[in-house]
Amino acid sequence: MSSWIPISVLKNYGLPDEAIDVLVNDKKIEFLNPLQLEALRKEVLSDRNAVVVAPTASGKTLIGEVMLLKKAIEKSMGLYLVPLKALASEKYTEFKVWEKLGIQIGITTGDYESPAEHLGKYDIVIATYERFDSLLRLKPSWLNKIGSVVIDEMHLINDSERGPVLEMIISRLLSMDVQVVGLSATVGNPSELASWINGELITVDWRPVKLVEGVYDRRRSRVIFSDGRVEEVPRKTGDAVLDVVLESIKSGIQSLVFIHNRRRTEELASELANAVSPMHGVDRERLSEYLSMLSSESPSRIEVEKLQPLIQRGVAYHHAGLSSIARRIVEEAFRERLINVVFATPTLAAGVNLPARRVILSVKRYDPHLGRYIYIPVFEYKQMAGRAGRPQYDPYGEAVVIDAGSVNDGFRKYVNAEVEPVVSKLNNERSLRIHTLALVAGGEASTVEEIVKAYSMTLYGYSSRELSNLVEKIETIIEMLTSWNMVHNYSGILVATGLGKTVSSTYIDPLSAHIFLSNADVLKEKLFPYIHLIALTPDYSRSRPYIPSRVIRDFENIALMDAENGAALQPPDEDVVSYDFWLEAYVHARMLNDWINEDPEDKITEVYGVGPGDIHSIRETASWIASSLARVASSMKKHSLAYILDALSLRIEHGVREDALELIKLEGIGRMRARALIRAGIRSLDDLAKAPVKYLVSLQGFGKRIVINIKEQLYKMGYKVVT
């Protein structure tokens, strides 16, 4: 530990004794590691921009956290940006400890239309990329108070969806002269990223737990490790993954297994559970607590029935189709070592801090466009492999490539390979039309030249050097936005119209608004065409879950009949939207329609081949799109459409029929409780206020605590409450 020094050295950089006490006593951090010391040496705690590049669990977060804390003590506002809402909540919980010092911590992850002026009272705010991008457009008064911004997962610039948003955020921060510190996993061009933001590069060849990488030799059924070890793997199941996992369990090694197919993670977990005996030597009482939580809190009976018998044998799976409750239970039980093996899709590697002694991973993924399996990028491999090794528990972590073409291939393509560089994804039509409109609507650019100048501050602009091709693309985008009545072009001076400003402030893709307005005349009183239209927008399609093709084809004849009868939108011209895309959107609309008509989640998952997590995802996305399109309709004086879309947004958000909209205004009343009340003859808040507590407690799903909370809410709203 000679290269480590006591955390108390931070006193020399302006942190008070109270802050050191929190770090030592609450966060259990007594020493700064080599990466953190390098950050101090390169003056991150002053005003220097920096890019911190290091493997998972190397202490990057503490660098950003301490920097923001120091700025807060100096009365400068700071932000910590993350890609996911779940990560925002996690960081918010971690940072709340600083309230002991009087530091106010805030969080904002949604409501893209709100300027959130109240956030100005906080010293440190945790936000998602998209939410902060929306705030930069809305320009709340507290923006000029920001002194520093930490960008977690900066390598996501490489992501086709989030990357352009991240680039535009950074370019705006650079123009605002705000300190920017990016935290990133290992990337191939760290110096370029640091040069782009005119900052220091902070990286050291150090990892909290040594990583030993290996490749499974299929021919000889053994694992060859980079440190020279060879682990023989008895052939027991006919599946290499299961054989390696079984040998890991036999050796007492806890493992994460990454597979690029959701269904396959479930199959492997089930097959493994059948091959192992019930667990021994674990805290069965603690395990039963998690199983009880899963049974009582999961929204899906099917999910519970599939997971419970697996967890009882120390096995689980984890993917985006699980409910958030199930994912949390699997994660916590794994951390507590009540689960030996988790089969997961790579989303776990990107979004959750869940290390394991051994990571077993597939490096092949099916590409539906090519119709064959392809090798994943080195960067993705390193992200997954980085989960190997638990600090304070393991002398080293192991990452095993399970399906390389050969041992030599595994070492050449992954273990010993260089990570690819982060490359800008801004140069595409969707990103350019969204961000060009935002620049014009926000008053940041009023000519093509000014737009190009704004883009020149991005990684795309920095790495391209020559932006002549961009000028032509922007001119095409401006013509498009002008033809959609979102921008006026007064002889080269660009001004956003009322519609353009509304579209930009609601954070939807201009094309989504254009699709809506192009179909507005065919939208009458029937609700399903509105839902079908939402599912046709690019904003919905970018995050919609996969529905099996067999399910989609089963609905084809019904879709065509509905279109013929005016119950669904007509199939468009192929040069606008493909027939297959239209049909897929129809099936997604059917699923949403079932949701707002209160079909049980289990029925929806069975009919459409999705999971509870998928339902939550589309609910969140579709509700936001409906609300945004309602604002668009209002701006165009289409008030009847706006009214329908507003109500639809609420119905999608809560999964209720129209008669429950009043009841779900109360916290604690969701689709199940609202329907129970309506069945009992309670259809309004006034009815609810008059209903005796004793009667309400007798209804299904209503305990005394929830009833008292409901009555308190009604009292504050001015209702005459009967107790």
Tokens for 322? Answer: 């699980």
Interstrand relation of 364-367 and 372-375 (parallel, antiparallel or unpaired): antiparallel
Is residue 722 assigned to a domain?
Answer: no
Query: Encoding tokens for residue 502?
Result: 């509304």
Average pLDDT over residues 131-152: 94
Is residue 148 situated within a structural domain? yes
pLDDT of residue 542: 84
Same domain, residue pair 393 and 440: no
Write the pLDDT tens digit of every residue in 354-367: 889 999 999 999 88
CATH number, domain of 304, equals: 3.40.50.300
> Is the pLDDT at 281 greater than 70, yes or no?
no
From edge to edge, which strands make up the β-sheet containing 315-318? 230-232, 222-225, 210-217, 396-401, 358-361, 255-258, 341-344, 315-318
Q: Which two tokens stand for residue 713?
A: 């809410």
The per-residue pLDDT for 469 is: 82
Looking at residue 681, which CATH number applies to its domain? 1.10.150.20
Count up the domains in the chain and report the number. 5
Amino acid at 651: R
The last residue of a domain, from among 180, 202, 224: 202
d(CA 402, CA 364): 10
**Which residues are CB-contacts of 261 (< 8 A; sequence separation ≥ 6)?**
345, 366
Please compute, for residue 44, the number of CA atoms within 13 A of its CA located in the half-sphere on the CB side.
32
Contact 111, 44 (CB under 8 A): no
Average pLDDT over residues 482-488: 97
Average pLDDT score over residue span 89-109: 94
Model confidence, pTM: 0.92
pLDDT of 2 strictly over 60: no
Q: Which of 182, 202, 222 is the last residue of a domain?
A: 202
146 and 69 share one domain? yes
Q: Are residues 217 and 265 in the same domain?
A: yes
Residue 73 lies in a domain: yes
Residues 6 or more apart whose Cβ sits within 8 Å of residue 28: none
Instruction: Assess whether 362 and 345 both reside in one domain.
Output: yes
With H, G, I as helix, E, B as strand and everything else as coil, classify residue 54.
coil
Residues 542 and 601 in one domain: yes
Distance between CA atoms of residues 707 and 697, nearest Å: 7
Domain-embedded: residue 468 = yes
- Domain for residue 423, yes or no? no
Q: Are residues 112 and 82 in the same domain?
A: yes
pLDDT per residue over 415-426, tens digit each? Answer: 999 999 999 999
pLDDT tens digits, 401-412? 999 999 999 999
333 confidence band (pLDDT: 50, 70, 90): very high
Mean pLDDT of the chain: 93
453 and 469 in a single domain? The answer is yes
Helix H or strand E segment including 37: helix 34-41
Per-residue confidence (pLDDT) for residue 1, from 0 to 100: 45
Residue 393 has pLDDT above 80, yes or no: yes
Q: Does 6 or 350 have the greater pLDDT score? A: 6
Q: What is the CATH number of the domain that holds 581?
A: 1.10.3380.20
Task: Kindly state whether residue 558 falls inside one of the protein's structural domains.
Answer: yes
For residues 315 and 464, membership in a common domain is answered with no
In the predicted structure, residue 17 carries a pLDDT above the cut 90: yes
The answer to the question of residue 695 being in a domain is yes
Answer yes or no: do 517 and 635 share one domain. Answer: yes
CATH number of residue 468's parent domain: 1.10.10.10
Q: Is residue 721 part of a domain?
A: no
Q: Are residues 137 and 164 in the same domain?
A: yes
The whole domain housing 483 covers 429-506
Q: Which of 388, 415, 442 is a domain's end point?
A: 415
**Within this chain, do residues 638 and 680 fall inside the same structural domain, yes or no?**
no
Kindly state whether residues 390 and 464 are assigned to the same domain. Answer: no
**Cα gap 151→495, rounded to integer Å:** 31
Give CA–CA dist 282/314, Å, rounded.
Answer: 9
Backbone angles phi, psi at 80, to 5 degrees: -120, 115
